[in-house]
Chain A
């Protein structure tokens, strides 16, 4: 019990990812130099830009540590524990922290770092994964490397950048592909990473209570739900009947344990049988966070929805497994 640290304002941490040349640096420059009245520290790998206040930019050496966390072995970013711990000494002078995660497309080690370190959990809150996509080169890049797709799959927010370099049709094609990969991310069209920073920072995407304000469209089923092996797909599941808490919890636990490596992101709001509050959860690989959300209003239809984004997912199998979790 840590009475004294409760109620302490937690500093938001945004993870920034995207292919080289997509516009991440432009976005970082804007965040560091524009007069928006906010101060962000940026943790990067080799930031070579001139004219940037060096004290706000911290070079990370990407030291991955293996940690024995009870019986689970996980990899965490040891350098981030040290750097973020150090940044806490100037927390009062900062409005947030951005971590660039380019070196590895998978932000899982970064996310795990937060869940594994008590000091970081007390003082920091994961805010969102922001991915910058180059509208002109995305489809080619996807053909060449998996990482490109993964970066989108992990995102809460996608900046579909360089819209000035493509036609409306090309843009629509890229956007469709992004939606196939990730049903719940917010997509913003930008050129020169020109988006209102309020749409990118302090979004609370990992804040479970914020999940409740997701627009319904984000999690709708896609009628063209193909099953492709070895590619990333985004599968949505829905139910109008209540979900049995114990069946769901047991299924999700074993699913994540077996398939955790392939399951990139999960998000869901469930109506659990016998409970009047929504059950909200979200995860990155095997790291899951959950909480009770708002009460269901008496006249409200109690609709459960969840989205699973991952590799080698079998939509039919997931639907059957989820159906088996419904209350009889």
Chain B
């Protein structure tokens, strides 16, 4: 793939920003850890490092901050749309259900004293929440009532993910992954691979389970054939992965391009990844798959935001360098908007037309 090389350092800032994409920006009061749109796409919620959740009106012509609610005592690390509102989790060990109405009461669904919440996952169709704290994984229903509790993970759980049915939860930890069954309350399956697994992701069709490791690798289990394999060669730890809705492609952070692994047909074992969206001197720090098409958005350590199709590998620049790494990206449900937020509290909302000129 031929990559445009800048002739001198003054070229580095001169990327051509796509005229198809409009951007509006707002600065939030603290660093952003995660952003997600509400189910109807009207609100973008951003979890912040000071324990607040900012709610931004995505329909307004400017990015208008509707409210900033201090729902956690220290860093809020996750926010997801849930049951008509949102659920957030923090390093205060608490998870909270709340709605967009700033006057409404937030409801605490758990409060771990000894350990903060490491990971939160939501199953939209079954309206279930999974929370990992220490060696415990707890499951809650649509009202925030506890459904199940697994306290016997072999080590501290660093990531949780529901399968497509919402009946099983994968929890990754040191030396592997334990899959828990929500109904029986017991481990269904234990997958072993030595090393510290720091994040886990399930393909939308439930066939593949992928973890990212301390050793800067991906480890992949094919749950049908029970074969597993690893993909290495990343210069940095891979913190984010996301799947296209047809389970055919998984994109990851950790390199200077979004690496897209093809899971169609025989799987990724023998094919090199598709490389999307190169930024000179930058590393992909956040990635989000388009809700319905084979397109990925990538946020970079340089602050760039790029959008590219998996078939072509070329990308549009939605935003140039800001100097601050993007920490989180999210597409609105109908894909007309893309949100990007960073460690300086900058939130950009990009209007993305259907005709992108990619794919």
Report the bound CA distance from A119 to B214 in whole Å.
11
Q: How far is the CB of A66 from chain B (nearest CB, A)?
A: 8
The reply on B301 being an interface residue by CB < 8 A is yes
Stretch at the interface among B69-77, B139-147, B184-192, B266-274: B69-77
Q: Total contacts A to B, CB within 8 angstroms?
A: 83
Answer yes or no: B215 CB below 8 A from chain A CBs: yes
Per-residue A-contact encoding for B273-289, CB less than 8 Å = 1, 0 else = 00000000111000000
- A2-B283, A55-B74, A92-B31 known; A61-B301 Cβ under 8 A: no
With beta carbons under 8 angstroms apart, the residue of B91, B214, B303, B321 that contacts A65 is B214
On whether the beta carbons of B174 and A78 are closer than 8 Å, the reply is: yes
A82-B156 in contact given A1-B281, A55-B92 (Cβ < 8 Å): yes
Residue B50 at the A interface, CB < 8 A? yes
A63 to B49, CA, bound (A): 26
**A79 on the B face (CB < 8 A):** yes
Q: How far is the CB of B3 from chain A (nearest CB, A)?
A: 15
Set of chain B residues within 8 Å of A68, measured between Cβ atoms = 215
- The docked-state distance in angstroms from the alpha carbon of A68 to that of B30 is 36
Q: Is the CB of A86 within 8 A of B114?
A: no
Interface string of B47-72 (1 = CB under 8 A from A): 00110000000000000000000000
**Are B75 and A3 in contact, with the CB atoms below 8 A?**
no
Question: With an 8 A cutoff between CB atoms, is A212 at the interface?
Answer: no
A-contacting residues, B139-160, CB 8 Å: 155-156, 158
For chain B, the count of residues having a C-beta within 8 Å of the partner chain is 39
A82 to B214, CA, bound (A): 10
Asked if A58 is an interface residue, CB under 8 A from chain B, the answer is yes
Within the assembled complex, what's the spacing in Å between the Cα atoms of A91 and B214?
Answer: 21
Residue of A nearest to B77 (CB): A89
Q: Does B203 contact A (CB under 8 A)?
A: no
Q: Which residues from chain A contact B303 at a C-beta distance below 8 Å? A: 4
In the complex the two chains form, what is the Cα distance from A86 to B198 in whole Å? 12
Residues of A within 8 A of B236 (CB): 118-119
Contact of A86 among B116, B237, B325 (CB under 8 A): B116
Option from B73, B116, B301 in Cβ contact (under 8 Å) with A58: B116
- Does A26 have its Cβ within 8 Å of any Cβ on chain B? no
Contacts of A58 in B (CB 8 A): 116
Q: Mark B282-324, 1 if CB is under 8 A from A, else 0.
A: 1100000000000000001111000000000000000001011
Residues of chain A touching chain B, judged by Cβ–Cβ distance below 8 Å, are: 1-5, 54-55, 58-59, 61, 63, 65, 67-68, 78-79, 81-82, 86, 89-93, 117-119
**Given A3-B281, A4-B324, 13 further pairs, Cβ under 8 A:** A2-B301, A4-B282, A4-B323, A4-B325, A55-B92, A68-B215, A78-B174, A89-B31, A90-B49, A92-B30, A92-B50, A93-B74, A118-B236
Q: What 8 A-B pairs come out closest when comparing CB atoms?
A: A90-B75, A89-B75, A55-B74, A4-B301, A4-B302, A3-B281, A90-B49, A1-B281
Q: Name 23 interchain pairs, CB-CB below 8 A, sorted by A.
A: A2-B281, A2-B283, A3-B12, A3-B301, A4-B303, A4-B323, A4-B324, A4-B325, A54-B113, A55-B74, A58-B116, A67-B195, A67-B215, A78-B214, A82-B156, A86-B75, A86-B116, A86-B118, A89-B91, A91-B31, A93-B30, A93-B50, A117-B214
